[in-house]
Amino acid sequence: MPVSGWLSVPGVLVVLLATGVPVQSGLYSADEPLVSLAGSARSLLLGSSSSWLAEFYASWCGHCRNFKETWSALARDVQDWRPAVYLCVLDCAEESNSETCSEFGITGYPSMKFFRAFAEKTSDGIRVSGYTVDSLRKQIIDRLEEQKESPPPACPPLEPISTPELDQFFENNREEYLAVIFEENKMYMGREVALDMLQFEGISVRRVVKDQTDLIEKFKVSSFPTGFLFSKNGSISRIDPGEETRSSYTNLLRSLPGVKRANHRLIGWSEKTHDDENTVIRKADNSKVYMADLESALHYSLRVEVGRFHVLEGERLKALSNFVNVVRKYLPARPYLRTLLNSLYVWIRARARTKVLFDDFEDVLNNKNTDQKAVLSSEENYVGCQGSKPEFRGFPCSLWTLFHMLTVQASEMTTQRTVKPAPREVLSAMRGYVKYFFGCRECAEHFERMAQESIRTVRTLDEAIKWLWERHNRVNKRLAGAASEDPDFPKVQWPMPELCPLCQVKTESELVTWDDPNVMHFMKTHFSKDNIADTYLVDEDVLLEKQKKANGKRDKRDVPDQENKEEIKVNEDFSENTFDKKQEEGGKMSSVHKKEPEDRPHQKPTIIKMKPQVPLKQAVQEEILDLDSYGQGLFLSRSLQDSSLHKENRALHPKVLHEPQDADFDEAAVRSRLLKRGVDTKYLIGVVMENGDVNWKGRWVKMLEGGFSRLDISLCVLLYFLSSMCLFAMYLYMSLRKRCLRKRYLFPQA
């Protein structure tokens, strides 16, 4: 039994360890009455003449796998309700679908949303809860009834039939039969049967509720439900289905002469199916930890899991910062990845008190605006965590491998006195990541309860290793044999005797106990640096070149159409008319730089970041006003040319934390000039020290958000002080003079 089998088993995160990220297939297949939204979510869910109930899931999520049976049963139960309402699915674990899931606001799995007919926006989806076929079926009916103004054209009338409608039904309709079901107000059977008969022609089904006393008395109905069949020839008969159930009514009505299935054109499964037999299973040594798995865990957690949130702020941003911090400190990463993690942590920490857009975070993750050798693999590459089928193991297994590696390395580095001891640092970072980012919300809730129960008892780094191992095995035992289990990697207590013969000890009563010293020795040996295998790893230089090409393609997509957008050059005069014109177009100022020779220094623009006037989800980037260029246009005589921008002088300035705005925009030089002129913006957060930390003592006070120097401010303060003193002196003089005059008037000299 490979070690990765244990790591793929659902551990403290309930089903976190049991399943894997599907590379080419999801939980559902084309033989089910479902529609796949892969590649066509917007076109199907928005503007459709049908209503849609969509499940967004992740195939590595054990809770989603357990829910599959319910969702498939619901799809079969309401398959005849099409085309009024369709059931559909989208696997958010597929990286090609992650952007779509984020666009539709999916932050946890499984998530169900109901889209009414003719929905216009992704935000029009209404969240649906419930995990039984009966409750979900009733919610579908409730949502359909709410669409009174624009119902799906194919949907039959669901409201109770009135007496005039009943009397004139055959005069206004071509059907041969009308089935009327009398029922209690809260019953759903009449509406369910009406939808069951949607694909059949020659008959209509309507309901009468108990409150309609005129019809109740007319037909002498005393028990509910009760059905009557009206024929076009004028005959009325009571329906006797044998038992008053939905299926009995439906089967009887479908068997009536003249009732036949209509020819409806239905939307079917559109996603291409994949052949699991073509999946290549890599040979893995169960005694090794594979760096490919660790890097795959980072790739998926940072790009896909974090990518589900458009905006990162507050506790969520803090959790991300802590997660990246422990990874950069304790993961024995390759050089380029280590560089990227350090840069990423510095970038996040500099924005700890602000809101961060994921698009900006992704640019840093992709090393988009720098030339440093920093890269993270852009795809999953599982080796030890590869399952017997694509839908098993993968990300959960690799994530647990990563966390066990971090707890062990934290203990080892503290022993070597390379870092200060922080017993719960890794566990707290893991807890924060799971709470705010892990897609399986039920798993996250289970882990949070486990953490609240006992995580505070951890006092040493070795206890942190043991805590994670114990909780992992405890839940493995509880969930052994679950549907989410990979049959080739069953959930067992780990390490197995073949890996560690001395770890398990049998007592006289044949009970197995653990030998803690041997378990600890095994954990530290198994998750040591020396036990990491580089097999199947892609060379970092190859990854770096691939990253550069990908960034180049993104830049081409981001270049505005030259026929529709005006090019603004930084070093040209910026007139008031141009500024006004750009303000009318939306207030966003863009800069396109001419490529200049390296020996020709040029001035970079000072930027003032404006608060966006639109919701953050709609904000693509911050608005930038080119203050220097604008100032040069209005006050040419006072334009400042800063020699600190020359390459030979830049080394004199401290390295300032910054968020790259554009590939050609050197914000470090801009901030350097602001610092020299005494102008602070709230974006000059701190100075990077040699150890990678940030010096927060050099924080500046924000001054008027304008281009005023310290000298200007000092002169203003000085003039204000002198003016105040002059006024105060005049006041004292006039006050004394008044007293003297009054004294002379009251006491004149003799």
> Which residues are the active-site residues?
61, 64
The region, left, alpha or beta by phi > 0 then psi within -120 to 50, assigned to residue 24 is alpha
CA distances from 387 to 43, 58, 279, 394 (A): 34, 16, 10, 7
Backbone torsions φ then ψ of 226, nearest 5 degrees: -140, 140
For 704, counting Cβ atoms within 10 Å of its Cβ (0-12 exposed, 13-18 middle, 19+ buried), the class is exposed
Nearest Cα residue to 215 out of 252, 279, 162, 176: 162
Helices (H), 494-620: 516-526, 540-558, 576-584
CA distance 86 to 115: 10
- Long-range pairs for 723-731 at CB < 8 Å and ≥24 separation? none
- Per DSSP, the residues of 658-669 read -----TT--HHH
Q: Which helix (H) or strand (E) holds 407?
A: helix 395-415
Write out the two tokens for 530.
């020396």
Buried residues in 299-336 as b, exposed as e (16+ CB within 10 A): bbbbbbbbbbbbebbeebbbbbbbbbbbbbbbbbbbeb
> Any idea what the Cα angle at residue 728 is, between residues 725 and 733, rounded to 5°?
125
Q: Which residues contact 638 (CB under 8 A, 6 or more apart)?
A: 631
CA distance 379 to 505: 42
Write out the two tokens for 108.
């946890």
Judge contact between 410 and 461, C-beta under 8 A: yes
Judge contact between 411 and 30, C-beta under 8 A: no
Helices (H), 197-313: 213-218, 246-254, 291-300
Residue that is written with structure tokens 């779509």 in the block: 100
CA distance 141 to 460: 56
Residue that is written with structure tokens 């049998």 in the block: 506
Backbone torsions φ then ψ of 512, nearest 5 degrees: -95, 125
> Any idea what the Cα angle at residue 441 is, between residues 435 and 445, rounded to 5°?
60
Backbone torsions φ then ψ of 539, nearest 5 degrees: -60, 140
Residue that is written with structure tokens 């003719």 in the block: 118
Nearest Cα residue to 434 out of 295, 327, 348, 305: 305
Nearest Cα residue to 49 out of 141, 151, 124: 151
Nearest Cα residue to 386 out of 303, 296, 474: 296
Judge contact between 633 and 577, C-beta under 8 A: no
> Tell me, what amino acid is at 745?
Y
Q: Provide Rg for the chain, Cα atoms.
A: 35
Centre a 10 Å sphere on the Cβ of residue 297 and count the other Cβ atoms it contains: 26
CA distance 743 to 502: 108
First to last CA, the chain: 123
